[in-house]
Structure 1
Amino acid sequence: MEPFVKQMQEGQPVLFMIASWMRQFSDLTAGFTSRHGGVSESPYASLNGGLHVKDRDNHVIRNRQLLAQALGQPFEAFTYAEQVHSNEVIVIGKQEKGLGRNSREEAIQAKDAFITNEQGTVLCAQFADCVPLFFYDPVNRAVGLAHAGWKGTVLNISMATISAMTHTFGSLPEHIHAVIGPSIGACCYEVDETVAGRVREVLSDVKASTLSNKQILRGLKSGKFMLNLQELNRILIEQAGILSSHIEVTQLCTSCRTDEFFSHRKEGGVTGRMIAWIGLT
């Protein structure tokens, strides 16, 4: 079953909520923005959440405010970073809460994964094809969010995030729930031998089955490969100890669905960014 359910309300941004989590966990907000319901103009129309894509800053900030209003959360709670395709994780405490919401200069620098157990803090990351990874530990009431492009994935940012939750909050992997969000799918994500080679190294390290190898990396006659980054992250999350029954994977491809989402690859690099968010309310 598709974990993300489209939410539309007149005059508000169009959002994709993690439906099962919203039903199970009343103290949690988590989801993914669409490209609709904001104020940005073409080619960033209309709900662009990225300050780094040459959109007008005031438009982006207004879009971020609209998201906060739609979720019924104070804008001061929303926390952003400058992402660099690393596997670096930061613990968000009271001092970091709200950083980066109004400017890149104030954002947390050079981090791609965030964890917190602070109530009233909303973690945010930006996407336009990379894979959003959501984590929630209902036992210790802690959340995590990771930005996994191919570089972050082969660096095993999922393991880094889960390990950080374990060491910081005492989270046990078997208690953590994970959701893999909308990103470019195996249907559209063509990569070269450089990327494929790194992926094969990871698959060898985790001793993935032959079937898994074929599902993740499919060779083309051109010498290129189609990469299933969502499935690779699922395997790595399971290898980190999260139960398969606690992992949900979207079927939504950002490249196929530019009617709903921004896609860096499909739109030639000139486009907006979606926001993935998670927070304890």
Structure 2
Amino acid sequence: MVEEKWEKRSERVLAATVFSNVMPGMFAGFTTRHGGVSKSPYATLNMGFHVGDDQNDVQRNRSLVAADIGFPLTKWIGSEQVHQAEIAEVTAADAGRGADCLETALPGLDGIYTEEQGLLLTSLYADCVPLYFAAKSAGLIGLCHAGWKGSVAKIGPKLLGIWKEKHRVSASDVYVLIGPSICASHYEVDEAVASKVKDALGGEVARVLMPTKPGHSLLDLPMLNKQLLIAAGVNPSHIHTSNVCTYESDAFFSHRKEKGRTGRMMSAIGLQKG
């Protein structure tokens, strides 16, 4: 495993510098909660249209980020994110979907990927796990939103399966970045969730579930995804981990810490046109 290094592009944007070196011209990043125009409780760089924030403020925040990273909003692509495991390939025909309003986001998807340059794949977070994918041999990049539901539905391995079937890419050739998310010490779940985690792993869960009180456990979502990806064939040395907790850091929004009324960060991955 590789510990990811995050470079501060601006007060708004962190770039995954080690992972971005996997492919020429690749940008992989994550926004903070700072440097925007949104007001409390979304202060200040809320990237989500769906949380109750002023839509004009969200659009302004997105324009600021677009200027920081060099991908215009007209090239952004976003999906609805319904906490499932549906994935689709996107092309230039989808450019701009979900970029300036929720209504045009790609419906029913939590994962998107592309082989085209000049597009920016985006998704939104406030504790869930962002999974970034890159396969240099095929020129493919992908992005998956993995909350606990998407994780136990194996959204990461599902993307690997699609790439193998449709693009003949072996999982062992894929690089993955597990981005900032809530850490286990702040993510307690009940037995109903824990049982689904056990079913998904089908084996040793000691590093993923840590019992607390009867019927409850701490869930390590990043570790769950890491173990599922390794089981699906990803080389452990190709997995980059962020070791950043969105609950603990004041740089990020946290759905759990702020009891649901908060903004969203954005993960993004794209290939600059060469």
Contact 1:76 1:98 in 2 (8 A): yes
Contact 2:38 2:46 in 1 (8 A): yes
Contact 1:165 1:171 in 2 (8 A): yes
Q: Which residue of 2 aligns with 1:134?
A: 132
Give distance in 2, aligned partners of 1:2 and 1:263: 22
Q: Which residue of 1 aligns with 2:255?
A: 264
Contact 2:185 2:218 in 1 (8 A): yes
The answer on 1:274 being equivalent to 2:265 is: yes
Give distance in 2, aligned partners of 1:24 and 1:169: 18
Q: Which residue of 2 aligns with 1:60?
A: 58
Which of 85, 91, 94 lines up with 1:93 in the alignment?
A: 91
**SS state of the match for residue 245, structure 1?**
helix
Which of 11, 18, 21 lines up with 2:19 in the alignment?
A: 21
Give distance in 1, aligned partners of 2:64 and 2:168: 34
Query: Percent of pairs identical after alignment?
Result: 40
Which of 168, 171, 185 lines up with 1:173 in the alignment?
A: 171
Which of 200, 203, 215 lines up with 2:207 in the alignment?
A: 215
Give distance in 2, aligned partners of 1:263 and 1:147: 15
Counterpart residue identity of residue 232, structure 1: L
Q: Which residue of 2 aligns with 1:249?
A: 241
The answer on 1:79 being equivalent to 2:77 is: yes
Contact 1:115 1:165 in 2 (8 A): no
C-alpha change, 1:197 and 1:24, in structure 2 (3 Å) is closer
Give distance in 2, aligned partners of 1:278 and 1:203: 28
Which of 114, 117, 129 lines up with 2:115 in the alignment?
A: 117
Contact 2:178 2:242 in 1 (8 A): yes
TM-score, with length taken from structure 1: 0.93
Shift, 1:98, TM fit = 1.6
Shift, 1:240, TM fit = 1.3
Shift, 1:170, TM fit = 2.6
After TM superposition, the runs of 4+ consecutive aligned structure 1 residues lying more than 4 A away are none
- Cα deviation digits, residues 185-212 of structure 1 (max 9, x gap): 11110000110111111121xxx33xxx
Alignment gaps of 5+ in structure 2: none
Counterpart residue identity of residue 252, structure 2: F
Contact 2:19 2:177 in 1 (8 A): no
**SS state of the match for residue 109, structure 1?**
coil
Number of residue-to-residue matches in the alignment: 271
Contact 2:22 2:175 in 1 (8 A): no
C-alpha change, 1:24 and 1:95, in structure 2 (3 Å) is closer
Shift, 1:166, TM fit = 2.3
Shift, 1:8, TM fit = 4.7
**SS state of the match for residue 183, structure 2?**
coil
Contact 1:182 1:251 in 2 (8 A): yes
- Cα deviation digits, residues 49-92 of structure 1 (max 9, x gap): 10000001111111111111101122211111111001000110
